[in-house]
Structure 1
Amino acid sequence: MSDLGLITALLRADAGLGGVILRARMGPAQAAALELLDRVLGPGPKLHPTMGPDALDGGLDVTASLAAGELRRTTGLLARPGPLRLPMAERATPWLATRLAAHLDEDATILIAVDEGIEDEAVPAPIAARCAFHVTLADRAAAHDTPVAGTCPAGVGVPDDIVAQIVTLAATLGIHDPRGPLLTLRAARGIAALDRRGTVTLTDATRAAELVLAPRATQIPEPPAPDAAPEPPQPQADPDPGTQIPEDILLDAVRAALPPDLLAKLAQKADRSAKGTGAGAKRQGNRRGRPLPARASGTGRVDLIATLRAAAPWQTIRRRADPVRTGPIVRKSDLRHRRYEEKSDRLLIFTVDASGSAALARLAEAKGAVELLLAEAYARRDHVALIAFRGDGAELLLPPTRSLVQTKRRLAALPGGGGTPLAHGLRKAQAVAVTARRKGMTPTMILLTDGRSNIALDGSRDRKQAAADVTRIARALRGLDALVIDTGKRPEPALQSLARDLNAPYLPLPRADAARLSQVVGAALT
């Protein structure tokens, strides 16, 4: 909260800074911050992260238009005065983020975006790039002083060497968006204006860099080597002591202001799979879910209000062509159909190797890990299915279900022994996944095996043919989200090749117990 008073004064003096992103869960800190912003910047319209174009930009008022016999439009929230407030900004739809970004570009409007996300949830990039300040609040409210706004920043000059230093610093921090250094220069001019100075100083630039550039950093700059010999200073003609910047002062100041968990966040982004969030996929339907804007093409229920909106502008022309008709004249081309968006249920297909080699090595640990994962899946209300392959084939021990007790009972009774019909297990998982997709689920296969496939699809004990069958089925499963866990004592090259064919992560866990297996798999799924 120590920086929020200065940020509020800067936004009041210069709306071109875009706004501020407050990362804080619901609590005293968030309430105190929003109360300060409302008191200094004034009240404004409150947005919703899923609102559509009619609420933002205004639309046709059907009731008033039909009553008056001419078009009547509603006023959108973007036309109202005052700063915009967007709670739960991390849930903003792509359309809303793009529309707000365009509005901030074309109009000097302040946006207060409240980020209440957890872990890696964040405000969409179009909004984050246009808000100069990103503030992470503590769990409790703190005292703060609100600076008094000074003169307009437009009349404040910036020395050329400060401009060059800020641009270089942005590149050093891995900030490639030009808005970063531009907003930093604008904030530095605002800080100088608050102190009633006509020129930006090194102190102003340093403070602005701490506020604007530090939260945007994507890499941590390395400090200079201690044993490096300093280069002799180059002679310059009468440098101005008021604008001359000592080397690395800005870099040291910003390095001290970097978020303490920046390394962990960067590592998490690097390790995170790009295949999805681990939740059920979004899909469109015509019966239930979150409403989407109506469309002309479709076979669902007719949206009466959207249909009347589409027909209203043509009423004058249609009445001239057909003066006998009374009431609204609606044509087939005016029909608009309802659309909805919902998240499908996720199905975790556990495909467990119960062959002799797995039983001797890791079957007990695999059972324990699957049991722990099943408990987590039950808490998330995921469906689970259990497939075991051993001997000469694979068996669906448990169809897709949410019954945790039944799943544990089937898993405990899972025997071990016999050959390794990996191809049969993959083919059974493919059949379960196809059926699940037809029922509207999002299937994910978790394969636990040591990779020593020795039974072909025709039942023969031919390792070469078995490997060819595994490769063929894996390529057919390439569109399915999957996770390959090597439970053998040492990494198996055949499983690495299988993971590449499936386009799935490969996790060799030679010495992990059941808890470690469950932890790694849970992290990969989420």
Structure 2
Amino acid sequence: MTAWADALRVARLAAADPHGLGGVVVHAGAGPVRDAWLAALRDALTAARPLRRMPGSITDARLLGGLDLPATLAAGRPVAEAGLLAETDGGLLVVPMAERLSPGLAARLAATLDDGIVRVERDGLGESRPARLGVILLDEGQGDDAPVSPALADRLAFHIDLSDIALGDLTPPEAASLGEDESGKPVADAAAVLCQAAQALGIASLRGPLLAMRVARLLTGGRDPTEAASILAARLVLAPRATQTPTLDETDAASDDSSPETPAPDERAPETEAAPGEGPSLEQRLVEAVRAVLPPGLLAQGLEAGSRPRQPRPGKAGIAAASRTGRPTGARAGAPRHGRLDLIETLRAAAPWQRLRRGEGATPDSRRIRIRPEDLRITRFAQRSETTTIFAVDASGSAALERLAEAKGAVELLLAEAYTRRDRVAVLAFRGTGAELILPPTRALARARRSLGALPGGGGTPLAAGLDAAADLARTVRRGGGAPLVVVLTDGRANVTRTGTAGRAQAGAEALAAAASLRGEGVRTLLIDTAARPQESARRLAEAMGGRYLPLPYADAGAMRDAVRTAR
């Protein structure tokens, strides 16, 4: 109930000052809870504040503005049109699937939030339009999806999470005004207190306390913030940005370091409510209010999120460039022999120059469009590259036959999906004194079955050699433009070194070093513990790889296939 009440309060605050507060990052998948919150936000907006939704495939011309091609061709002169950002001036722009925003689009939105205007310097036009707006970023990411752009999210005052709110917890929006804290006593130096609280919570950016101060002023109708307004602003703005859970000792130390020296007895102001030391300071109460809503294990979650490898970005592993196939991502100057002609963008480039190209003596009915080679535009395409799942199977010991049977079944299930997902599967086994590539990256199901049928088992556990072989294959896949995913099936008990000699201590140390090297490559990893009981050695190995640890002592092929899907 408290989470939903805070979400409704955030909706009213964001609607009251869209540009000043920047907007809201909403962590929630599509569903009735998110729809109810968006409806409350829409009801809180006045008629003068528009609410627009940005399409996922929006072009720069539609977002920023540019040449109105039909009007330009009809008038015979350049005619400008406003973009979506200018149309949303004074209101809020809803951005779905914000975790998939390209870096360029996120930078354009961040620049608009900073300047409050949108500048157009293209298609022979040069103009600026007001765009004082706020942004609602709908973050639908799950699992290992890339987060919303940190630079863009830092400019937004509120970050709310609706994923844990049940449908039965929804209540109608409250009708209370935002000036409910006007009657309290103003705080002498609320800005300094908010900055000290942000420092105690591990917030490095100054935007956090500045936005919290703006929210506190908004709660008090533009006057100096009261104590209650400061605490509420800290809970709504600073709590989601916290990177550490402060202890009471840390708060006391920060308060002692920042407080001035105790004045002499004859210089002290008369006491009004309580003498110093009789109760916690405002900063301590503020930090305690924030700490009460922080999730348990916040510091551990931050360290785990920081250890994850970065997700592929356009132009690198994960998204490959394509000349004539894939998803259109704009246009560029070029001849049609180098790509697919973009007729609309070609006409848009040629339209501003038609009057000059027709000359002074042209007749009024001379309406043919004159296109020159420099006007030609070709479409740019981006194509999702294939994911190669590399199974590194521990084929040693007496339980090898069971693990190999599970791996074979999982590979066959994944290969059945390979044609639709453009994915490939590879299998390497390590046993005895080294590792062997059993199945090179392939989508051929018949070939995979033949190779898997002859997969051997038994012998020692050269875990370091297996991880080294997986890292080499992952590098090869990445150089080819693919996105590798390494799935290690082992109990983590290495007993053969890289040189092929026996020795558990040295073999374990080499395995941890190989796992750390794999993590340094930025390869996504998943370790499936295949022992009868979860092994601490396997857990440490997963932590060294920076991957997910999944104990599956009774795993079958279907469960393993589902685990790999989640890791993707």
TM-score bucket (shorter structure): 0.7 to 0.9
Q: Given the alignment of the two structures, is residue 30 of structure 1 paired with residue 71 of structure 2, yes or no?
A: no
> How many angstroms apart in 1 are the aligned matches of 2:413 and 2:200?
42
Quote the residue 2:543 is aligned against: none
Q: CA deviation at 1:304?
A: 1.4
The corresponding residue for 1:3 is 6
The reply to whether residue 306 of structure 1 matches residue 337 of structure 2 is: no
Tell me which amino acid in the other structure corresponds to 2:359. Answer: R
Question: Counterpart in 2 of 1:460?
Answer: none
| 2:378 alignment partner AA | H
Identity, in percent, stands at: 37
| Counterpart contact for 1:56–1:78, Cα < 8 Å | yes
CA distance in 1, matches of 2:347, 2:215: 48
Residue in structure 2 matched with residue 213 of structure 1 by the alignment: 238
Shift of 1:393: 9.4
Partner of 1:117: 141
In structure 2, what is the equivalent of residue 320 of structure 1?
Answer: 359
Q: CA deviation at 1:514?
A: 9.5
Matching residue's letter, 1:109: L
Residue 77 of structure 1: which of 71, 84, 96 is its match? 84
- Distance 1:248-1:226 versus aligned 2 partners, 3 A rule: closer
Tell me how far apart the structure 1 counterparts of residues 342 and 171 of structure 2 sit (CA, whole Å).
50
Structure 2 Cα separation of the partners of residues 130 and 264 of structure 1: 25
SS at match of 1:175: coil
Query: C-alpha displacement at 1:101, in angstroms?
Result: 1.7
- Does 2:386 align with 1:345? yes
Shift of 1:255: 0.5
- In 2, the alpha carbon distance for the partners of 1:393 and 1:262 equals 41
Q: Does 1:192 align with 2:228?
A: no
Q: Note if 1:57 corresponds to 2:81.
A: no
Q: Which residue of 2 aligns with 1:287?
A: 324
Q: 1:493 to 1:423 in 2, by over 3 A?
A: closer
Aligned to 2:108: 99
Deviations 1:46-67 (A, max 9, x none): 1124422111121222232222
Deviation at 1:205, TM superposition (A): 0.5
Distance, in Å, in 1 between the alignment partners of 2:212 and 2:143 is 27
Aligned partner letter, 1:91: R
Gap runs ≥5 in structure 1: 455-462, 468-486
State whether residues 526 and 550 of structure 2, in contact with CA within 8 Å, keep that contact through their aligned partners in structure 1. Answer: no
- Which segment drifts farther, 413-422 or 4-13? 413-422
What is aligned with 2:309?
Answer: 273
- Equivalent position of 1:142 in the other structure: 171
Which residue of 249, 256, 264 corresponds with 1:224? 249
Q: Decide whether aligned partners of structure 1 residues 70 and 157 sit closer, same or farther in structure 2, where only a CA change above 3 A counts.
A: farther
Give yes or no for contact 1:390–1:418 (8 Å, CA) kept in 2: yes
Three-state SS of the structure 2 residue aligned to 1:176 is coil
Distance across 2 between alignment mates of 1:213 and 1:148: 22
Provide the rounded CA distance (Å) in 2 between the counterparts of 1:322 and 1:431: 68
Q: Report the Cα distance in structure 2 between the residues aligned to 1:210 and 1:435, rounded to whole angstroms.
A: 46
State the Cα distance separating 1:188 from its structure 2 match.
Answer: 0.7
Determine whether 1:164 maps to 2:168. Answer: no
Q: What code does the residue aligned with 2:309 have?
A: S
8 Å contact from structure 2 (residues 319, 383) kept in 1: yes
Moved more, 164-173 or 282-291: 282-291
Q: What SS does structure 2 have at the residue aligned with 1:349? A: strand
Q: Which residue of 1 aligns with 2:202?
A: 174
1:237 aligns with 2:269: yes
Question: Deviations along 1:337-358, whole A, 9 cap, x unmatched?
Answer: 111112111112335565xxx3
Once the two structures are overlaid, the 10-residue window that deviates more, 204-213 or 442-451, is 442-451
Which moves more between the two structures, 367-376 or 161-170?
A: 367-376
- Inter-partner Cα distance in structure 1 for 2:251 and 2:213: 31
- Judging changes above 3 Å, is the alpha-carbon distance between structure 1 residues 238 and 227 closer, same or farther for their aligned structure 2 residues? closer
Comparing 259-268 with 131-140, which one deviates more in the overlay?
Answer: 259-268
Cα-Cα RMSD: 4.8
Q: Is the 8 A contact 2:388 2:483 kept in 1?
A: yes
**SS at 2:292's partner residue?**
helix
Q: Is the 8 A contact 1:386 1:399 kept in 2?
A: yes
CA shift for structure 1 position 123: 2.8
More off after superposition, 404-413 vs 136-145:
404-413
Q: Residue 292 of structure 1: CA displacement?
A: 0.8
Is the 2:54–2:96 Cα contact (8 Å) retained in structure 1? yes
CA distance in structure 1 between the aligned counterparts of 2:302 and 2:273, rounded to whole angstroms: 38
Q: Provide the C-alpha distance between the structure 1 equivalents of 2:300 and 2:467, rounded to a whole number of angstroms.
A: 38
Q: Measure the CA separation in 1 of the matches of 2:144 and 2:389.
A: 23
Alignment CA distance shift 1:418-1:180 (3 Å): closer
Q: Which residue of the partner structure matches residue 484 of structure 1?
A: none
Alignment CA distance shift 1:306-1:405 (3 Å): same
Map residues 502-521 of structure 1 onto 2, 5 A cutoff. Answer: 503-504=520-521, 512-513=531-532, 519=550
Residues 341 and 168 (structure 1 numbering): CA distance in 2 closer, same or farther, change over 3 Å? same
- For 1:224, what is the secondary structure of its paired residue? helix
Q: Quickly say closer, same or farther: Cα 1:39–1:500, change in 2 above 3 A.
A: closer
Range moving further from structure 2, 267-276 or 328-337:
267-276
Q: 1:6·1:147 contact (CA, 8 Å) conserved in 2?
A: no
Q: Which amino acid aligns with 1:214?
A: A
DSSP 3-state at the match of 2:248: coil
Maintained 8 Å contact 2:497/2:507: no
Cα separation, 2, equivalents of 1:227 and 1:243: 17
Following superposition, the deviation at residue 215 of structure 1 comes to: 1.0
Structure 1 residue 501: Cα displacement: 6.0
> 1:250 aligns to what?
286
TM-score for both structures, normalised by structure 1: 0.75
1:60, 1:71 within 8 Å by CA — same for their partners in 2?
yes
- How far has the Cα of 1:525 moved from its partner? 5.2
1:127 has 2:152 as partner: yes
Aligned partner of 2:119 in structure 1 is none
Q: CA separation of 1:405/1:203 partners in 2, compared to 1, >3 Å: closer, same or farther?
A: farther
- Secondary structure of 1:71's counterpart equals coil
Whether the aligned pair in 1 keeps the contact of 2:487 and 2:527 (CA below 8 Å) is: no
Measure, in 1, the Cα distance between the counterparts of 2:467 and 2:223.
Answer: 74
Answer yes or no: is the 8 Å Cα contact 1:50–1:93 preserved in 2: no
How far did residue 145 of structure 1 move? 0.6
Deviations 1:469-505 (A, max 9, x none): xxxxxxxxxxxxxxxxxx9797434445555666458
SS of the residue corresponding to residue 251 of structure 1 reads helix
**Cα distance in 1, alignment partners of residues 203 and 38 from structure 2:** 28
Does structure 2 conserve the Cα–Cα contact (< 8 Å) formed by 1:187 and 1:208? yes
1:50–1:92 contact (8 Å) kept in structure 2: no
Q: Deviations over 1:188-226 (max 9, x none)?
A: 111112xxx843221110011111111111111123399
**Higher mean Cα deviation, 334-343 or 377-386?**
377-386
Equivalent pairs counted in the alignment come to 486
